[in-house]
Structure 1
């Protein structure tokens, strides 16, 4: 397979893989609400379950680096996702759904960092700045699915969400078969080498700062649907809110992918935390579902810019032969640990104090993260 075809299939796979998230993230909370789960239970399912990725992503990243394959691992993971989803969609017990969603995340969460790793390996060192032009297709896939799934689920019923999900999984399995593993390093991967990544203090400190920034974002990911529903939003508007957020990332990924590393990563991270603070204050004070939906366009300058800075920084911190491991650690920190803390905290605050208070808490959290990051930046750049 030529490198051009490889990149084409990676774009398609990135699109359809993100489509799964464009279905699950906005609409699974509604499905669980339909099944009479409380907001606290939904927060636990959507928040704590992703903690599985804290173990899963580094583990499968190491397996990928150790055996120098991503393609075969992806196919196995996708098949496991489909099998586990039966329990999520057809069980009504909170314990069963909760445990199933933990296992679901254990096999689903490593997919995105593995795809990121394959994209960067396929691009090579000289074209690494083009990563955003592959990643933007994930935003397109997420956005398209989020907005189209609303009418589809209104038509077939939210209880039949599994039909759409299984279709998307079959598509990604088909596309994965056309990929070719890219192994640019013949250096063997050992557990001792992996330990060196954990001993890289600047990288671990950067992960900690990313964790602080992402917690409020993951609170919003988990609870936005319930917030909009409380403001009277329709299923179509909820899908539109998610699609606007994802589409807003596209120009950021396209135009800024090769630019972010020209600036200090701590300074950029501090600016991102500032943008997040402003975003959450607006969400807390506006009581219009239409305006909250419109404000989702701020996702590009917050999360879109955050992920470019985080991923490109991670690539520079870890050696080439451990890239999948390093990117998996980043993903597990942001979407595993950050998702667990954010989802649980968001569900608890919303249930006790309401969604407006939840967004004020998020704004305070982002502001504290911003202050800490700029203090750190000033300390190292006096």
Structure 2
């Protein structure tokens, strides 16, 4: 279908929206921990607050997905989510007690996490109508993350980290205004095919893959939760923290492009072994770093660790799982990589950081990464039988291409940085 002049602006508005919402992602992942630290919370308390997000995302994504499907609207739900974020950010800005913040941040996460899969879905459908590649919209999320990583750092260096929540309100307000110009769509977000879970979990090779991913995910989520705290302990200002996040977000772009062009020429397992080893090296260097500026340089390893891992793991997952179980497999992958690992690493990691210090904390993270490296390597040198799908398991519902792409792109947001 050809684009008419009346609908031509649709993609630019979606690009602007995608660019903007990743500003809140920067705040949640990088600057919320500093806000908590400024309130005097301990590292174990910060870890618990971080762990709440992945746990709430499981429930929130499901409920808002059902609501989107039932009422056949994405735009109206997006407006509700952004207004909810603004209200909860305002409440957080005046809250100081841990018991109050743990309640309010839980509600905030309920409005925060579903924005990304919903925005991916509406962008996928729009790109398909205009015969464009979805990545032409999604790439603006990566650009937005890089921009806001630096911009927010400079802003907070001027106004102070105590006003972090007011920045969150401002970004959500901009996204809310842009949403008014986005065309609504009634396509539901991708759902987990419950009938296919058992068929997937019976595959030993896939269980091994998820086990390796889970081990690596614990290490990665430990770093995510306490990187900004580490930078702060080393005397980093908000500006330096912004540069560190900028370095990691920009470094992944060339790797994504290279692997999209030439990645198929290399088998998945060697790449996964390499990526896990790079993660282990990265965490070891962070643990022994003695200055904030050295951490900026170490962040460049994000390209060789996360960049290689993300593209390769998704590629391998699509080969391990039959097409009619694809949406289910991607949902399980999200749980393993983001939700379950985030819950465990936030609570467990906070205690380790507080009781044993930064150096030992990152040694533990390095150990989990090395365990994943050994797991991938063992499968490479001692391959087992290839994945087989029983005929009886082929009763699952075939997901649409949009559903599959939505699951993958939503997972990319969760993983990024």
Tell me which interval the TM-score lies in, with the shorter structure as reference length: 0.7 to 0.9
Question: Hey, what does 1:112 align to over in structure 2?
Answer: 116
2:383 aligned counterpart, secondary structure: helix
1:229 Cα offset (Å): 1.8
Matched, 1:36 2:28: no
Is the Cα contact below 8 Å between 1:144 and 1:243 reproduced in 2? yes
Task: Tell me which moved more, 309-318 or 42-51.
Answer: 309-318
- RMSD (Å) for aligned C-alpha atoms: 3.5
Question: Hey, what does 2:363 align to over in structure 1?
Answer: 360
Matched, 1:295 2:295: no
Task: Tell me which moved more, 166-175 or 202-211.
Answer: 202-211
Matched, 1:76 2:80: yes
Q: Which has the higher contact order (CA 8 A, sep 6+)?
A: 1
Task: Tell me which moved more, 329-338 or 144-153.
Answer: 329-338
1:140-183 C-alpha deviation (Å, 9 max, x unpaired): 21222121222211222222222211111012122233334567
Task: Tell me which moved more, 274-283 or 52-61.
Answer: 52-61
1:216-251 C-alpha deviation (Å, 9 max, x unpaired): 111111111121122222221112111111121222
Matched, 1:57 2:61: yes
Is the Cα contact below 8 Å between 2:277 and 2:370 reproduced in 1? yes
1:71-129 C-alpha deviation (Å, 9 max, x unpaired): 3332222222222223322211111111221222222112223333444444449989x
1:36 Cα offset (Å): 1.3
Equivalent of residue 92 in structure 1, options 85, 90, 96: 96
Question: Hey, what does 1:228 align to over in structure 2?
Answer: 231
Question: Hey, what does 1:161 align to over in structure 2?
Answer: 164
Is the Cα contact below 8 Å between 2:89 and 2:168 reproduced in 1? no
Name the larger-Rg structure.
Answer: 2
- Matched residues in 2 for 1:38 and 1:104: separation? 21
Is the Cα contact below 8 Å between 1:65 and 1:321 reproduced in 2? no
Task: Tell me which moved more, 233-242 or 329-338.
Answer: 329-338
Question: Hey, what does 1:196 align to over in structure 2?
Answer: 196
Matched, 1:336 2:335: no
1:63 Cα offset (Å): 4.5
Aligned residue pairs, count: 377
Is the Cα contact below 8 Å between 1:70 and 1:181 reproduced in 2? yes
Question: Hey, what does 1:103 align to over in structure 2?
Answer: 107
- Matched residues in 1 for 2:53 and 2:190: separation? 29
Is the Cα contact below 8 Å between 2:18 and 2:137 reproduced in 1? yes
| Structure 2 gap segments, 5+ residues each | 387-417
TM-score using structure 2 length: 0.78
- Matched residues in 2 for 1:77 and 1:109: separation? 9
Is the Cα contact below 8 Å between 1:277 and 1:363 reproduced in 2? yes
Is the Cα contact below 8 Å between 1:66 and 1:189 reproduced in 2? no
- Matched residues in 2 for 1:123 and 1:261: separation? 25
**Bigger helix share:** 1
Matched, 1:21 2:28: no
1:37 aligned counterpart, secondary structure: coil
Is the Cα contact below 8 Å between 1:114 and 1:328 reproduced in 2? no
- Matched residues in 1 for 2:162 and 2:78: separation? 28
- Matched residues in 2 for 1:232 and 1:189: separation? 43
- Matched residues in 2 for 1:363 and 1:379: separation? 25
Q: Given the superposition, is the C-alpha separation of residues 184 and 27 from structure 1 closer, same or farther in structure 2, using an over 3 Å criterion? A: closer
Is the Cα contact below 8 Å between 2:318 and 2:326 reproduced in 1? no
